Structures are given as structure tokens and as C-alpha cells.
Amino acid sequence: MPIFNSNPSQPFVKLLEKIFSVCYYVPRFITAKGIVSTFFWLPADYNVKSFNKHAALDLIRFSGDGISRTDLADQMGLTRAAVSLIVKELLESNVVQEAESRSAPSGRPPIVLAINPKGGLVGAIDMGATHMTVALADFAAIIHREMESPLDIKDGPEICLAKAEQILHRMLEQEGLTTAHLSAVGVGVPGPVITEAGMVVAPPIMPGWDRYPIRASLEKIWNCPVTLNNDAELGALGEWAYGAGRGEKNIAYIKVGSGVGAGLILNKQIYGGTTGAAGEIGHLTIDENGPLCNCGNHGCLEAFAGGHAIAKQGQALAKSGKRTLLADLPAEKITALEVAEAARRGDLHAQEILRRSGTYIGIAIAGLINLFNPSVVIIGGGVAQVGDMLTTPIRQAVRERAMRASEQGVRITAAMLGRRSVLMGAIVQAVNVAIHAAAENRNSTSKAVLMEPFEVN
């Protein structure tokens, strides 16, 4: 079943108030098979038909290869006649299309319902501490254009957001389009997001961003709904929808980049906490007498195992006089990537830095597993691309420290989407807004676009 945040103050809900006079939150709907969690938006003249239409849209969207009218009726506990009326409206809205099933074993393939990729266009921005990736995708979450660019998040919001605007405009121009063709944009940032306000508050690695109106500023520029989430939260959502956590009920996504963060999905809903700032696993105290962290405390996990911490350890190693491949590099230019490359080439000291970082991360994850009992823990982010050199000590620490009842039921794996986990999560959020709004506007094709798919490596 689809996954959405259970907090009705989430930004994409507030944004839809611009479209609908009243926005309703309905946490569950009852089917013949029991109570199913869901989340969507209803217009002021709410009725059961509208409710079922949005529920059907979510089932179609996350059905994989499409879903037949018969299966849709069975899953919703409705008559085929009722489903036919709902489907008719969705087809008229241009959000859903009919297609031949690709999974039919033999004979004439049945007609199934799927999201119409030509129904509209969304933008997605993954803004990290040292990089930014921008993409254009259709309603089926297929990427058409993608561009990555260096970024220093410490440059502040004006410079960073202006760069995001320039890249998105350039990509639209390459397709012969303008921002008027955008139905929504999803944005991820590396800090604690206060979702109702559309801003970050006291972000440790984002100086100058505190309480800056990120969402409001971008909505004004692009004149369309904008969603804003923490990057690890979006990583969890991306992996749930299209990656290693697909179909799972309880997920923890650990993003190991310049810092360390966690995105949590509990009972198939994003868990953001009271204000949307949950998941700051990087600021769990590992050693109260440890190194100073960017947050101002001593001994945080991030100060031991984040990308910046790995880089500092690599720089110290290069200056130590020990036999290491890093000694051939200017110490001040060594990053976590150089440490990882040296480790791949057999540098024992560099391998030890990664092993030690993995152990610290594993200790923190063991605590998380004991608390939340997830079925899968997904390791993602730039540093995690080193693979087994990081995940092996993580698994070992979890085996040693997590309670057996929880540890035996969890799978620890690398992110299937690699560096695109957060980007795909941002696309999911943007499409959330776009397709449910479009479903209320039948016979509207003003934002329908025709683009060739982008070849993703």
C-alpha cells in the first residue's frame, strides 16, 4: 500500500490548500481485507466516491506493472461497477492510462491500469553538503534529465537556492519547456526540517540556513507546490518505493555522507516525530569525551564516522609518517573519497579508518534496532558506496550488540538505488502532490508534456 506521512501538517498537504478550499486527512480506510493505512487529499465537498478515487489512485501507482480493474475491486472491497466509475474519472483526468500487462504468462495480455507518464512533469532536488543533484521526471517517476553539480551548503540559502533554480531552468530549456510545465518540485536538504514551516532549524552543517523560508522562497520562484524534507527521510522513501525496502513495513535508512542521518518508516508511514526532526542518529553520543561535533556537543556518532570525520582521520594519517597511499596526496585536500580509494587499493591504515567508522555506525544502528525493530536497515549515502568495507563492520557490530529477538529479524543491506535514493524520494513526494491534484481536474491537459526518457547509467 502507498506510504505517506501521517502528520497532516506536512508541506504537501498545506500546499494543496491552494487548490482545495479544505484539505482532509484520513488515516485509514476499511476494505474487505481489513484496515489499510493510506493518506491522500479530499476536496471540500468530500464524499465516499472522492475518498475511493484517491485510494484507487494510490493502489494503481504502487502496483508495479499495473493493476486490473478486477484486482482493484478485490483489494478495495468495492463492486466492479463502482470501480469502473472511479477508473473512468481517473482516465478523464489524464493521470491514469490503460496498458497491456507485461507480466502475463501467455495468451492475450490483460488490460491493466497504470500511471500515465505523460500526465505531467515534476522536479526533484537532492541538496547535500558538497553536491546537488537536480532531475526532471514524469508522473511515473521516470527520470528524463539529471544533472549533478558541486555545492558548498555553507555558502548559504541565497547562493545555493539560486544555483538550484539555474540548473532547473537550464534543464527545462533543453526540453523546450518552462517552469509553467512543472506540476510540483520535491526538495531534500541535509538538516532537521520543520515541515509545517517549510524550513530547517539549527542545522549543524548548514550555517546561515536557520529558519530561512526555503519552501516559500522556491514556491514563489517556480509558482508551483514545493515539498521540503530531510534528505535521509527521502532516502527511506525512495528505497521503499523503488529500491531495497520495497513493500517492507518498517524501514531504517542510514545516510552516511558528510554527516550521518536516519530516515524512518514505521508501519508504512514516514516517521518525522513531533516537528519533523526525527532521525538525527548522527548526534547520538558515542563517547562524551570524544571529538567536537558540528552540533556543538562532544563525541557524536557523526564526529567519529561521518564523511568529514573520515576525511580528518585521513588527513591525520597522511601527516603521521606511516606507510600509506595517502602520504602522496596534499593532506588538506584529502576527503572521505580519497580514504575509500586508498582502502580499495589495499592501504591497511585507510581500511582501518573505514572499519572503525563502520563499527561506530553499527553500534548506533544496534540501538536503533532495539528501539524500533525494523525489518530492514538500508545503508546509503556517498560514503556508503565503498560497499563491504563499511557494511561488514556494521553487520558485525549489530550482531554483537542488538537484542537477539530484533537482530534475527532484520536485514542489513546497501541501498539499491545507490546515490539516487534521496533523489527518487524527492520525486515520490513531488508526484504525491501532482497526481492527487490532477485527479481532481478532469479533462485538464494544461501541464501534460511529451519527453523522451533520460538514459540512467
Q: What is the pLDDT of residue 455?
A: 46
The CATH 1.10.10.10 portion of the chain extends over 11-118
Q: What is the pLDDT of residue 15?
A: 31
Q: Does domain 11-118 have CATH number 1.10.10.10?
A: yes
pLDDT greater than 70 at residue 275:
yes
Q: Sheet of 376-380: strands edge to edge?
A: 269-271, 260-266, 251-256, 376-380, 411-414
Average pLDDT, the chain: 85
Task: Answer with the residue of higher pLDDT: 428 or 450.
Answer: 428
Q: What is the pLDDT of residue 27?
A: 31
The DSSP element (H or E) to which 403 belongs, if any, is none
Q: What is the pLDDT of residue 51?
A: 81
Count of C-beta atoms within a 10 Å radius of residue 251: 27
Q: What is the pLDDT of residue 46?
A: 53
> How far is it, in rounded angstroms, from Cα 366 to Cα 402?
5
Is residue 194 within 8 Å of 235, Cβ to Cβ?
Answer: no
Tell me the pLDDT band of 390, cut-offs 50, 70 and 90.
very high
What is the arithmetic mean of pLDDT over 267-280? 87
- C-alpha grid cell, residue 215: 519552501
pLDDT tens for 211-245 read: 999 999 999 999 999 999 999 999 999 999 999 99
Tell me the pLDDT band of 106, cut-offs 50, 70 and 90.
low
Range in 47-51, 72-76, 370-374 the model is least confident about:
47-51
Q: What is the pLDDT of residue 101?
A: 73
Tell me the pLDDT band of 63, cut-offs 50, 70 and 90.
confident
pLDDT greater than 90 at residue 361:
yes
pLDDT greater than 50 at residue 13:
no
Q: Which of 265, 438, 287 is nearest to 368 (CA)?
A: 265
pLDDT tens for 24-45 read: 233 333 333 332 333 444 444 5
Task: Answer with the residue of higher pLDDT: 379 or 273.
Answer: 379
Q: What is the pLDDT of residue 17?
A: 34
pLDDT greater than 90 at residue 266:
yes
What's the maximum distance between 2 C-alpha atoms anywhere in the chain? 77
What is the arithmetic mean of pLDDT over 178-197? 93
Reported pTM: 0.85
pLDDT tens for 362-379 read: 999 999 999 999 999 999
Instruction: Report the CATH superfamily, name and number, of domain 246-416.
Output: ATPase, nucleotide binding domain (3.30.420.40)
Range in 120-124, 128-132, 188-192, 449-453 the model is least confident about:
449-453
The CATH 3.30.420.40 portion of the chain extends over 120-236+420-438, 246-416
What is the arithmetic mean of pLDDT over 148-175? 96
What is the arithmetic mean of pLDDT over 1-11? 38
pLDDT tens for 293-349 read: 989 999 999 999 999 999 999 999 999 999 999 999 999 999 999 999 999 999 999
Q: What is the pLDDT of residue 407?
A: 92
Tell me the pLDDT band of 450, cut-offs 50, 70 and 90.
low
Q: Which of 204, 179, 180, 181 is nearest to 191 (CA)?
A: 204
Sequence-ordered alpha helix ranges (H) in 148-255: 157-174, 214-222, 231-242
In the chain, what percentage of residues exceed pLDDT 90?
Answer: 71
Range in 9-13, 162-166, 437-441 the model is least confident about:
9-13
Q: What is the pLDDT of residue 104?
A: 58
Is residue 279 within 8 Å of 191, Cβ to Cβ?
Answer: no
Topology given in CATH for the domain delimited by 120-236+420-438: Nucleotidyltransferase; domain 5 (3.30.420)
Is residue 210 within 8 Å of 147, Cβ to Cβ?
Answer: no
Q: What is the pLDDT of residue 280?
A: 93
Range in 41-55, 117-131, 147-161, 163-177 the model is least confident about:
41-55
